[in-house]
Amino acid sequence: MISVDSYGWIERFGNGRKAPHYNRIIESVAQDQIVTSVVALYEVYKKVKQMKGEETALEAAAVLSQTRVVPVDQTLSLEAADFSLDHGLHMSDALVYATARQYDADLYTSDKDLKGLRGVILV
């Protein structure tokens, strides 16, 4: 199992300079082996809509919906709060990280706020 944070998906859909790296990572596993926090789905839709318009944003949301999208529940919220306190993470980063940890998935990101955390692979 892997997880890709919103940064990676936005690079992919926005054809950013790190898109080739994220494309290789995402295409290396079956879609049902990608864990996606519902927070990442929100962030990707919002950013892609700003950059490319609603149609492209809906297409991006449809792609992410093919992965294992994980909603925020009470357990995940409490784990994310602990990660936030322990590592000084913002709420969205903590929720994305807690989602990856819940599934024992490696989290691929370019967000330096997550650097050095267990299971995080910086791209």
The 10s digit of each residue's pLDDT in 72-115 is 999 999 999 999 999 999 999 999 999 999 999 999 999 999 99
What pTM does this model have?
0.94
* Structural domain for 67, as ranges: 2-122
Cα–Cα dist 22/16, whole Å: 10
C-alpha distance across the termini of the chain, in Å: 17
What's the pLDDT at 88?
A: 97
User: What is the tally of structural domains in the chain?
Assistant: 1
CATH of the domain at 20: 3.40.50.1010
